[in-house]
Structure 1
C-alpha cells in the first residue's frame, strides 16, 4: 500500500489490535474493529494509527515471538464475518458471554475458544472449501499468490501433531528441504488439514485488507511493526535454516536496567547467506506487509548494523559480542607482550581454591554441607592447574547452561556463574577474541600494569573504530534493500546503545528515528538534561511512552524526578498525582516537538479525560519486560469504542493536540 501522507506532520496513536473493543468484538480486538477505531480517530484529529505486530504467535502472547513472518494471527479473525459461519450465531454469542466483560483478555482461553469454533465450522464445510481450493477456485488462486502459506500450513499441522512442541523436539521432520515441504503439502491424506490453515489465512488477509483500505480512504496512515528477529521455534527458521545462525542468540548488552543484559533466545541472521538470493525472504516480507500498511516500524534497527549475540549455551548476555566486529587477533595480544600463559590468564576464568571455599562457606550454613558441596564443585566443574591452588573450568563447561545443569547448591551455582564471566576476553574462535562487557571489573584486568592497561585500551578503541566502519557499511546496505523493496515509509526503533553511524545512515536514507522523551537526554552532561523539544530532528517520531515502558501516568506517579522534569518543561507547580490537567500539559509539550510524527499510546490519550483512569496505573501497561505471565500483552480499552467516542471532553482534548504549533530549533533538521 503506497504511502501518501508520510511527509506531513501527524498526531498518532499506538494500539494493539487485541485491545480494541468494537460493536461485534468477541472478547478481543479483531481486524474489522480497526474501521470503527479509525472513524473515532478521524473525529479526534489523529492521523496515524500504529499497531503492534499481528503475525501468528501460536499460544505465546508476545507479538514479538512469532511463529511466522507472514501468516496473520487467527486471534484477530472475526469469525462471524465468514460466509461459512452464518448458522453459528449461538456459538459466537457463547464466546461473547464468556469473555466480553473481562478487563484484560485471557489470551490462551480466547484463542482456544476461537480455534475450536473454526475447527467446527471447517469440519461442516470442508467439502465446499476444498472445491474453492482447486486451481481455478478463489482459495486456490489465493494460495498461488501467497506461496508462503504452504510452509506455514505444513508447519502448523506438524506442530499440532507434536503437541505444540518446538520443531527441534518433533518426532520427525526436524530437518526439511523445500522439496520435502512441497511433498508434504501435496500429500492427499494431509490435504484437509493443510487447507484448514490456508482457509483461515485467506479470511484474515481479506478482513485485514478491507480494514486497511477503509483506513486509507479515511485519510489514516496505518503503520505496522516488523520485529527484526524470528523465534527459533518458527516456520521460517524451520523451513529456511540457511538464513539463520542458530549457534548464537540475539539480545542486548548489560545496562543500568538489565545488569545481565538481555538474551532473547532468537537466532541471528546469516546476512551472507541471505545476500546470495538478494535478500528474497526480507523482500517478500515487505511485499506482504505493504498490502496493509503505508508505513512500518523497523524493530531494533541497530540489529541491521550490528547485533549483540551471546553463545547459545548462555542464558544471560554478559559474554555477548557484537557481530560483525573486527576481532582481537592472537597476534594483537602477542604484539602487546602477552605470552601464551598470560593470554590464557586474561581469556579464561581462574578460580583460587580459597575463593571457592569462602564463597561456599558464606552461602552454606553447615560446614559439612559446604565441604560436600566444595567436593562436587572441584570434581564436576573445575580442573586444577598443576599443583597450584588455582583452577580452570573443565572443557565440558561451555556456557552458563552447563553450570546450571550440574544441579549444585544455589550458592555454588551463583559463584560459578560469577566466575565464568570473570575474564577480559572471550575466545569465540581459535585465536580470535572479543572483550567482555565488564572486562574492567575482571581479575585479569586488575593484574595488569598501568602501561598494559593503556596499550590494551588503545587496541580496543582501534578495533571499535574499525568495527563501526563495518557497521555503517552493513547498515546502509541492508536498509537500502528494505527501502528499495517497498514504497512504505520506514520508521526505525533506534533505542539502546546507539553508535554514531546509526543516526548518520538513518538521516542519509530519510528514515525516521524514535525519540522517547524520558530517555532522550544528554547522558554525558552534568545532570543528564532532557533534550529540548525544538531540537528533536524532523526525521523522527516523538513519544512519551512505548509498549515496554510504563504509561505516562505511571511514570509520573512512580518513576520520574518530577522536579527535574517540571524544570525542563517550564511548569514548576504540576500536581504530584497525575490528572487530566497534567496529561494535557505533558502531551501538549510533546505535541510541539519538531518531530514529524508525535505518537501517543492510546492509554495516554485516554488520560486526558477523568473517566478512563484505572484504580491502579500499573494495570494499564501493555508489557512488563523481563516477566512472563498472563498479564503481558492482554491490555483492553476500558470501554467499547462507541462509548469512548461519546466522551466530548476527551474528543476536544485530543483535537487540541493536533493544533499545537511545533517549536523548531537549529538542530531540528538533524539527527543528534
Structure 2
C-alpha cells in the first residue's frame, strides 16, 4: 500500500470556510468515481457486526498542571463554555471507486452514532464536519478512521487518533490527518522493544497551546541518532523561507510520541508550504530534508486552530537494525544451574550477549507442560496452561538464602546438582524430580511469610481467573495419576466449586501451586528488568495449540474442538505430515466474547516479553485438522475451508464413487509391492476381500488409531515398526476425505502421488488433478484472507509487543498480504525457500519487516545440515549463496558458518537471529565436537526428547576472546 503523500493543492485550502453562515452539512455520501489506486494493496477486513464493536476505548488523560508564572503566556484552559466549536476532520487518502471512509468514536464526537461515513471532498480528501459543545466534554476524544471496501469489509487505521481537550477552546478547529498503515516500516519502532532500544529525548517540557496559537505541526519520526533533532522549514519567513540555515525546531512530546511545533501564522500568506527535516544538535545544521512534494497548510481569517497531523516524516533510511540469539531456556548452561537452564540463566546469557552486541534473546515456550512427569513432558509446545510458567525453570540458587542452603536436608539435595550439570544433555526426569523436591523444601521454609505478604495476595487476585483452575488441575492430575480429566469421576469439567472443595481438603497442595507460580513470576520479571537494563529484548513464543489434556481445555471446553487434532500437511520435515495432537480452536465461539481468552493470554505474556513469535501463524487462517480416529497428518484437511460439494464432481466431469474415492484402494498389486513375503499374513490378519477383487480393512482395524493401538501392544523392533508404518500408509491410500458434514469432501494432500490415483484412467486423473489445484490454490484464497485478517487482527490489536509470525510451510499468497496489513514481521529461513522455483531464500533480498535466520530449532544447525547434505545441493549453496567459485568443501568449518552468519547480518531485514549452535560454530575451537548433540528437535519423530544443552558454560563463553571479537566485528561491519 502506498503512503498518501501531500500534494500542492490550492483548491483544498480555498474551500475551507470559516464563516458559520456558509457552513456545509456533512450529509453527502458521494464517492468519487475518478479515484484510482492499487487495489491489491488495500486490505479487506471483515465489516463489524455492530457499531458498538468498533467503539474505541477511551483512555483518561491526566490534567496538565497550572502555570506557576504570571508572566507566562495565557494557556488555553478547559473550563466550561457556552459556545459551540465548529470541527472539520479531514483525512488525506486515495480511495478506489466504490470505497468510502468512515470514522468511529464516542458519542461525544458523533452523537447517537459511533460509526459515521465521511464525505468525499476532492483530490483524495475526505471530510466530516461537526459541531461540538465543549461544556459536555471532559477529556480528550479518541477516534479512528476505517476504509469500507467494495465487498462491505473494513480496514482499520492502525493508529487511534485524539482530539485534544485544550484545542476545543477555539471556536473553529480544523484537523488534517494521514492514514496510518500498519505495514509502514516506521510503525515497528513504536512497538514495545524500542521503548528502551531507541533513546528519545524526554527532558524537554512541551509548550502548551496559547490564545495566540494558530497552527500545530505534528510529525512522527521513528529513529534518530543521539545528536539529531526534528525541524520544519517552509515558504513563510517564520519558517525560514526555504533557507536551510533558518528553520523552526520541533519538540518531542513523549505522551503522544510525536515531534510538535506550535506557531502563530495568522499574518502570513493563505497557502503555506513546508517540509520536515533533521538537524544536527551540535552544529545546528540541516542534515536531511524529507522527500516528496511540499506539504500544505493555510492561514485562518478568523480565530481558530489548524492541526496538521502529518504522519511519518518521509525519509528513505530505514534506521535501526539488530541481531539476536535463539536458544531454548533449558539449553543455557551456567555453572550454577541444576542440569537445566533456569530463569537465573537469562541474566547470565544476557551478560554475554551484551558484551558482544546482540540485542534480542529468543526463547522457546516456557509454560508448564507437566502431564506425565517423564521425558515426554520435555516437548515445550504442549502446555497444560498457556498462563502458568514451568516449575522446572525456577532458580533454586536465588530461592534459598545462603544460610538455609547449609541445612542438611537442603544441602543434600543441592549437592546433586553438580552431577546433573556435568551431563552433556538434559536429563529431564532427574532434573524435574530434584527441583520439585527442593521446591517443597522452600515452601515449608517460606510458606508462612510468603502467603501472608501483600505481594502474594495481589498476585493471586490478579491471576485467579487461570490460577485457580491450573492449581486444581495440577492437584487432580497427581491424585488420579494422569492428566486425562475425562477420567476424573465428578471433575470432568472445571468449576469454582471443585476448586473450593480442593482448597478445603488439600489446601497445601493448592497453595504450593500458587507459591511456585508467584516465585516464577517474580524471578522472570527480575530477569526481564536485567535484560532491559542491558538493552536486550526478550522474545517469547506462543504455541499454536495446547495439550489435549490441559487446564485450558478443562476450564473452557467450548473454545476447543477435541474431535480434531491440529497438525501440518507433508512438508520439508516429513512426507507423512505432522500430527501435534492438539485440539483445534472453535474460533466462532471465541469471537462471541471478542477473543477474550487470546487477549488474556497476550496480556499475560506482555508482562514478561517485548516481542512474541506466533508459532504456525498459518493456523490463524486455517489449521490442518486431522480426524481423531487417524494418526498421520496426511489424512487431515484445512479448516475452515470451502469443501467440495458432491454435486461438483459432475460439473468437473468426474464419476464420483464413495468407496473408490474415500476408502483405501487396495489390490493384489499394491499389497505385493508393499509387503512382499508378508502378503498372506496381512490379508489374513487385517483385510477382507471385496466382490470386485479389491480389499478393505476389517472393522477391528479400519482406522489408523486402531492399527496404532494394536502395535502399541507389540514389542518395539524394526520389523514391527516397518509393518505398522506400511499399514498406516495403506490406510492413507485415498483420494478424498469426507467432511463431518455429509456430502462434502476434501482432497487428500498430494492425491496424485498415491497408488490409488495411479490406478485410474488418464482422463480421470486429469480431471481430478484440475479439481485438486482448484481446491488448494484457487477457491480458498479470498476466504482464508478474510478469516485470517479477522482472527489475527483481534490478536495484534490486543498488545504493543512486536509480533513475528512463523510463516513457513504451505503458505497461501494471501498470508503475507494480511501480515503486512497488520504489521506482523515474517520469518525468512535460508534453507526453506518460499518460492518453490528456488532452493534457497537469499537473506540479501528480503524485505525490512522480516526476521532472517539460517536455521530454526526444527532444523539441523548449519554444520549438521552441510555434512549430511548431497554434494549437488552443497555446491549450489556455495555458489549461489556464498558466491564462492572455488571447490566446495566436503566438511563445514568456521569459514562457511561465519560467511553464512555475515550474509544474514547484511540483510535489509530488521532482525537477524541465530541459533547458539551456529554462533559457537563460527570458531572451530568453540564448536561442539559432538555434532549429533547439537540437534534440538526432529519434527519427523512423533515423540522426540528435547534435551539439547550448550556444550560449554556461558561463563566460559565470556572468556572466548577470538569468537567474541569476531561477533563484535561482524556486527559493526553490518551496522547492527
Closer, same or farther: CA 85–422 of 1 in aligned 2, 3 Å: same
Closer, same or farther: CA 156–436 of 1 in aligned 2, 3 Å: same
Closer, same or farther: CA 544–196 of 1 in aligned 2, 3 Å: same
Q: Among residues 602, 605, 609, which one is paired with 2:923 in the alignment?
A: 609
> How far, CA to CA, are the matches of 1:247 and 1:113 in structure 2?
37
Q: Aligned-residue CA RMSD in angstroms?
A: 2.8
Which residue in the other structure is 1:537 paired with? 847
Which residue in the other structure is 1:553 paired with? 863
Deviation at 1:543, TM superposition (A): 0.7
Which residue in the other structure is 2:736 paired with? 425
Matches within 5 A, 1:511-522: 511-520=824-833, 522=835
Alignment deviations for residues 51-86 of structure 1 (CA, whole Å, 9 cap, x no partner): 111111123111112121111111111123236785
Which residue in the other structure is 2:676 paired with? 362
Matches within 5 A, 1:619-658: 619-627=933-941, 632-658=945-971
Q: Secondary structure at the match of 1:519?
A: coil
> Are residues 1:238 and 2:570 paired?
no
Deviation at 1:547, TM superposition (A): 1.0
Deviation at 1:113, TM superposition (A): 0.2
- The range that moved more, 560-569 or 318-327, is 560-569
Deviation at 1:395, TM superposition (A): 5.9
Alignment deviations for residues 309-363 of structure 1 (CA, whole Å, 9 cap, x no partner): 11111111121111111111121124445667x34322223444x4587579833
Q: Secondary structure at the match of 2:904?
A: helix
Q: Among residues 523, 534, 540, which one is paired with 2:836 in the alignment?
A: 523
Alignment deviations for residues 618-645 of structure 1 (CA, whole Å, 9 cap, x no partner): 2222223334788x43222233322211
Closer, same or farther: CA 657–445 of 1 in aligned 2, 3 Å: same
Q: Among residues 654, 660, 663, which one is paired with 2:973 in the alignment?
A: 660
Closer, same or farther: CA 146–383 of 1 in aligned 2, 3 Å: farther
> Are residues 1:3 and 2:193 paired?
yes
> Are residues 1:402 and 2:706 paired?
yes
Closer, same or farther: CA 269–101 of 1 in aligned 2, 3 Å: same
Q: Secondary structure at the match of 1:619?
A: helix
Deviation at 1:553, TM superposition (A): 1.8
Q: Secondary structure at the match of 1:32?
A: helix
Closer, same or farther: CA 21–375 of 1 in aligned 2, 3 Å: closer
> How far, CA to CA, are the matches of 2:725 and 2:392 in structure 1?
41
> How far, CA to CA, are the matches of 1:350 and 1:628 in structure 2?
26
> Are residues 1:297 and 2:613 paired?
yes
Alignment deviations for residues 256-314 of structure 1 (CA, whole Å, 9 cap, x no partner): 64221111111111111111111111111111111111111010111111111111111
> Are residues 1:117 and 2:438 paired?
yes
> How far, CA to CA, are the matches of 1:347 and 1:540 in structure 2?
41
Quick check: 1:9–1:596 contact (8 Å CA) kept in 2?
yes
Matches within 5 A, 1:180-579: 180-184=497-501, 187-255=503-571, 257-336=573-652, 342-352=657-667, 354-355=668-669, 358=672, 362-364=676-678, 370=680, 374-378=683-687, 382=688, 384-385=690-691, 388-393=692-697, 398-405=702-709, 416-429=727-740, 430-442=742-754, 445-446=757-758, 448-464=760-776, 465-520=778-833, 522-524=835-837, 528-559=838-869, 561-568=873-880, 569-573=882-886, 575-579=889-893
**Matched residues, number:** 641
Segments of 5+ residues of structure 2 without an aligned counterpart are: 1-190, 199-318
> How far, CA to CA, are the matches of 2:413 and 2:902 in structure 1?
42
Q: TM-score, normalised by structure 1?
A: 0.88
Q: TM-score, normalised by structure 2?
A: 0.62
Which residue in the other structure is 1:41 paired with? 353
Q: Among residues 353, 359, 383, which one is paired with 1:66 in the alignment?
A: 383
Which residue in the other structure is 2:467 paired with? 149
Q: Which structure would you say has the larger Rg?
A: 2
Closer, same or farther: CA 247–80 of 1 in aligned 2, 3 Å: same
Which residue in the other structure is 2:235 paired with? none
Deviation at 1:106, TM superposition (A): 1.2
Which residue in the other structure is 1:599 paired with? 913
Quick check: 2:400–2:442 contact (8 Å CA) kept in 1?
no
Q: Secondary structure at the match of 2:415?
A: helix
Quick check: 2:831–2:841 contact (8 Å CA) kept in 1?
no
> How far, CA to CA, are the matches of 1:27 and 1:97 in structure 2?
8
Q: Secondary structure at the match of 1:12?
A: strand
Q: Among residues 316, 330, 336, which one is paired with 1:18 in the alignment?
A: 330
Which residue in the other structure is 2:902 paired with? 588
Deviation at 1:174, TM superposition (A): 5.0
Closer, same or farther: CA 154–177 of 1 in aligned 2, 3 Å: closer
Which residue in the other structure is 2:422 paired with? 101
Quick check: 1:243–1:273 contact (8 Å CA) kept in 2?
yes
Deviation at 1:29, TM superposition (A): 1.5
> How far, CA to CA, are the matches of 1:110 and 1:419 in structure 2?
41
Q: Secondary structure at the match of 2:193?
A: coil
Quick check: 2:893–2:921 contact (8 Å CA) kept in 1?
yes
Closer, same or farther: CA 257–40 of 1 in aligned 2, 3 Å: closer
Bigger relative contact order, structure 1 or 2 (CA pairs below 8 A, ≥6 apart)? 1
Which residue in the other structure is 2:297 paired with? none
Alignment deviations for residues 433-482 of structure 1 (CA, whole Å, 9 cap, x no partner): 11111322446544655554444444444444221212111111121111
Q: Among residues 365, 377, 385, which one is paired with 1:53 in the alignment?
A: 365
Which residue in the other structure is 2:492 paired with? 175
Quick check: 2:662–2:736 contact (8 Å CA) kept in 1?
yes
Q: Secondary structure at the match of 2:563?
A: strand
Quick check: 1:14–1:601 contact (8 Å CA) kept in 2?
yes
Which residue in the other structure is 2:75 paired with? none
Deviation at 1:583, TM superposition (A): 2.6
Closer, same or farther: CA 553–129 of 1 in aligned 2, 3 Å: same
Which residue in the other structure is 1:667 paired with? none
Q: Secondary structure at the match of 2:641?
A: coil
Deviation at 1:241, TM superposition (A): 1.4
Deviation at 1:105, TM superposition (A): 2.6
Quick check: 1:516–1:543 contact (8 Å CA) kept in 2?
yes
> How far, CA to CA, are the matches of 1:403 and 1:81 in structure 2?
50
Quick check: 1:56–1:72 contact (8 Å CA) kept in 2?
yes
Segments of 5+ residues of structure 1 without an aligned counterpart are: 664-672
Structure richer in strand, relative to its length: 2
- The range that moved more, 596-605 or 613-622, is 613-622
Closer, same or farther: CA 412–204 of 1 in aligned 2, 3 Å: closer
Quick check: 2:425–2:933 contact (8 Å CA) kept in 1?
no
Structure richer in helix, relative to its length: 1
Quick check: 1:80–1:86 contact (8 Å CA) kept in 2?
no
Q: Secondary structure at the match of 2:635?
A: coil
Quick check: 2:570–2:578 contact (8 Å CA) kept in 1?
yes
Deviation at 1:575, TM superposition (A): 4.1
Quick check: 2:861–2:935 contact (8 Å CA) kept in 1?
yes
Deviation at 1:152, TM superposition (A): 0.8
> How far, CA to CA, are the matches of 1:198 and 1:505 in structure 2?
40
Q: Secondary structure at the match of 1:267?
A: strand
Deviation at 1:530, TM superposition (A): 3.1
Quick check: 1:249–1:311 contact (8 Å CA) kept in 2?
yes
Closer, same or farther: CA 114–442 of 1 in aligned 2, 3 Å: closer
Alignment deviations for residues 194-219 of structure 1 (CA, whole Å, 9 cap, x no partner): 01011000000000001101111221
> How far, CA to CA, are the matches of 2:653 and 2:896 in structure 1?
61
